[in-house]
Structure 1
Amino acid sequence: MLELHQHALRLRADPSRVVVRPFHIAWQAHGGAPSRTERLVREVLEMSPGQARAELEAVLKDFEARHWQTRRVFMTRYEEIEGLLGLDGSQIGDEKRQLIGAYFCHEYSYAAAALMNPSAVPHYDQSGMPAGSLRMLMSLRAVGEGHISSVAFREGIITDKGDMTLAPEPPFATAADAHEDEEHVPEGPVTVYRHRDSTLSGTVIFPITRAQSNGLEDLRLCHFLHDDGCHEWIGTYTAYNGSQIQSELLRTRDWRAFDLVPMTGSAARNKGMALFPRKVDGRYMMLGRQDGENIFLHSSDSITHWEGGELLITPRYPWELVQMGNCGPPIEIDEGWLMLTHGVGAMRKYSIGAALLDKNDPSKVIGRTKEPILAAADQDREGYVPNVVYTCGAIRHGDTLFIPYGVADSSVAFAFVPIRSLLALM
């Protein structure tokens, strides 16, 4: 029998979590964008000092207590507009500059609808950790206004005794932003930057490019070891524009700058790709589900280009007959590559299982669980999409697997599973 400990903590959607985001008027418009920006700035510049002061005070009354360093955010946003229009800031008072910045910002509730589909990796800072404890970093899919998905983060500590403590969320969240041309929607690779004074637990990454416009979905993080011994945190995610999807990479070495990089090739036009945390036999390896039904294994000489794929695992047991997919990057253990899977059965009920792949040749399946290790039941049934349990990545900590998982596309729960107990089911 599987030994599984479910932690009591649940994370849920919270409409009170709001951020100030740049309001790119040019991106909202369908024509005449530069003149619209110039007109708005001119309107503020033509206000009398008293009127500008009153308008700014009204804005601050509504929003200053809801956000962190609001005046500085407005001033930073003004500076971006100043650079765009070639304004002479020395001739404009602070109040008008802040007011201009406010007109080019907006408030967004990034997790009002749902919080789900987490992945976890070891934190980049393990200093001060006592024996048996691991600091971890978790990504979350946050769904807000317009059902647009963004990436949020939480930091915490897990222990080998099945305990978990999450770092408190800061009272204010901040949006990572791209330093891009104000008048054009970025395309292709783009870099976004965490605010210099923001913690990771208070940082949100929103869609930036046109291909991402309706969401960054289901980030699958891994701690990647390069051939030269350097480490990088890389996550695959689905970019969605409302009608088409493509797989992209989030890459960071310092958790300050995040590269969002589209992948190319036939395999990258599908959802649910998951990167192995190192090369195998000299090649990058990826799990995928390009037919929407089975799990495939991909290999490539380029981390950003993926073609073809080899059929790896097909549905076999009743709880997975509708379709299968991976639940995040494989985890390297002594016995091989431990891969969490998801299966869909009757009444579209989701379950989580596992498989073991050969360490030197991941195309060889050593074993797989006949029964799920987690399934939608009792309180895990109800939510925005009922009967779903889903994870985008677990962590090995000693002899235990820590699994954060989404519940009914509505909340996030946590489980600890002894690896020996999991292998015994195969």
Structure 2
Amino acid sequence: MKLQVSRMNVRLNPDVRKVIPRFFNTGDERSRTLINRVMLMPDNQVSELLQQVHNEFRDRYNNIRAVFEKHFDLVKHLLPEEERLTVTNEKKLLIGSYFTMEYSLEHAALFNPSIVEDPDQSGAAAGEKNVIVSFRATGEGHISSLVFKRAKLHKNGNIHFEPSGKYMNQGRVTQQKRNNKKAFTELLSHSILPEEIRALILCQLHDTFSYKEIESILKSALQHVETGMAKNKIKYDILSMVNTSYELHFLPESLLSERVIFPVTFTEKNGIEDARFIKFTAEDGSGTYMATYTAYDGSFILPHLIETKDFLHFKMSPLHGKAAINKNLALFPRKVNGQYAMLSRIDGVNNYIMFSDDLYLWETATLLQQPIHPWEFVQIGNAGSPIETENGWLVITHGVGPMRKYCLGASLFDLNDPTKELGRLKEPLLMPDEDEWHGYVPNVVYSCGTIIHHENLFIPYAVSDYATSFATVPLKALLNAIKPAG
């Protein structure tokens, strides 16, 4: 009997009104000219223009003047010292406004959702569950960030979202880590790197250094590498050893829908992509929300991890090791046989499984699944972290077939030995229907995480890399439909 997958009449489209203020960098030469023009303005004209700008933009932000102050501080070094000491507060604010631009977080897409149980279940009646849904938001320049919405799952399977907040907030960054040269030297010693390149890198490093500093050093150190492909591979291998950890803090009074995790470090400056959230339960029973995501700097992708207890304070860390590569990493929600476990797609085609004693270090991967059905011949990967059921680990997969069409599938793995595949759907669980064909990337349905609710599997999914929709399938029927492999 064919599985009955029920699509919901709910679709979340990108909201172009979701904006954040970003620093507008015009380069030092142009910036000095611009600052000088403002400095030459009469005070009364400065007051009038500043008031005009303030009136126009104050309702879009909680404190637009604080933004102007922050951005003035980023360019004040371009002022002559005597002017820096005497510039009026209004001119500081007006200068700051010229170095501020609005960025529409969701202008291009709101997609690739994942879902977890909300740590706050207040207000949830019997049969209901408060949930948090994360999304990949993509704006101008295809820069991706992470945004959230609170929602309630009802007994009948419907979802109802809390109204979105008005002011988007990037949070306060703390504890950006500098790298230790001694530790980095030890990591380099285990790499297959020509000795002359290794020596050239190390002689330029200080005792501690940032990602940006070593990226600059690599430009000169690798300039004599003959082919671009070889140069990129060496650069990728070296940068994957660099620590880019930081913490992000939001105000308790902010709504969850107002919090945005926007790229902070150089490793992720072009995108925070495809977060796969889970509630990870430690051996002592305590819970932490975690998500793997792909950090993209415009040239390289590196896997990272988010950790949070409350969705107010977030710790962001890179993952290291020979197997911490490519996209599609998904953490198991608990240790398996005393080790952390992770799904991955390290070769871009097949599903792999990894085990580690260290949450941040992944050295080996074992082949788990290869494409066997025509709708997944191009590649197979996960569509979120495994879900523990009585029958085994349920993994929603994605498969790519003819015309690069993405479909969702499902597989089951042994609870005690998840390297053993117990079964796999022969036909797609969900494939793009006619009104889902078109978008930024046509013919795609994709998910970064699902959840069990009231005997159903609730599936948030992306529609052609543009919007987000939702579906449900009876859990028991799904598990019964997964036939033994082979």
TM exceeding 0.5: yes
Contact 1:185 1:208 in 2 (8 A): no
Contact 1:288 1:298 in 2 (8 A): yes
Query: 3-state SS of the aligned residue for 1:161?
Result: coil
Where does 1:151-300 land on structure 2 (aligned, <5 Å)? 151-179=146-174, 188-300=244-356
Partners of 1:195 and 1:37 lie apart in 2 by 33
Partners of 1:418 and 1:146 lie apart in 2 by 40
**What is the identity, as a one-letter code, of the residue corresponding to 1:280?**
V
Match in the other structure for 1:421:
477
Contact 2:211 2:244 in 1 (8 A): no
Q: What is the TM-score when the length of structure 2 is the normalising length?
A: 0.79
Contact 1:160 1:400 in 2 (8 A): no
Partners of 1:205 and 1:43 lie apart in 2 by 35
Partners of 1:37 and 1:251 lie apart in 2 by 38
| 1:69 is aligned to 2:125 | no
Contact 2:151 2:160 in 1 (8 A): yes
| 1:386 is aligned to 2:442 | yes
Q: What is the TM-score when the length of structure 1 is the normalising length?
A: 0.89
Partners of 1:386 and 1:339 lie apart in 2 by 24
Q: Is 349-358 or 197-206 further displaced after alignment? A: 197-206
Q: Is 345-354 or 89-98 further displaced after alignment? A: 89-98
Query: 3-state SS of the aligned residue for 1:7?
Result: strand
Match in the other structure for 2:49:
55
Partners of 1:282 and 1:43 lie apart in 2 by 64
Partners of 1:44 and 1:185 lie apart in 2 by 35
Paired positions, count: 417
TM-aligned CA deviation for residue 75 of structure 1:
4.9
TM-aligned CA deviation for residue 104 of structure 1:
4.8
Contact 1:20 1:175 in 2 (8 A): no
Match in the other structure for 1:121:
116
Partners of 1:55 and 1:192 lie apart in 2 by 34
Partners of 1:258 and 1:81 lie apart in 2 by 29
| 1:18 is aligned to 2:74 | no
Match in the other structure for 1:8:
9
CA-to-aligned-CA distance 1:354-402 (integer Å, 9 cap, x gap): 1111111111111111111100121111111111000000111231111
Structure 1 37/199 Cα, relative in aligned 2: closer, same or farther at 3 Å?
farther
Match in the other structure for 2:376:
320
TM-aligned CA deviation for residue 132 of structure 1:
0.5
Q: Which structure's residues are more often strand, by fraction?
A: 1
Q: Which structure's residues are more often helix, by fraction?
A: 2
Contact 2:414 2:422 in 1 (8 A): yes
Structure 1 208/15 Cα, relative in aligned 2: closer, same or farther at 3 Å?
same
Question: Pairwise CA RMSD of aligned residues?
Answer: 2.9
Partners of 2:270 and 2:66 lie apart in 1 by 29
TM-aligned CA deviation for residue 339 of structure 1:
0.5
TM-aligned CA deviation for residue 96 of structure 1:
4.3
TM-aligned CA deviation for residue 18 of structure 1:
1.2
Q: Once the two structures are aligned, what percentage of the paired residues are identical?
A: 42
Match in the other structure for 2:424:
368
Q: Is 231-240 or 167-176 further displaced after alignment? A: 167-176
Partners of 1:139 and 1:422 lie apart in 2 by 25
Partners of 1:385 and 1:214 lie apart in 2 by 18
Partners of 2:432 and 2:422 lie apart in 1 by 27
Partners of 1:243 and 1:185 lie apart in 2 by 14
Partners of 1:424 and 1:141 lie apart in 2 by 32
TM-aligned CA deviation for residue 73 of structure 1:
4.0
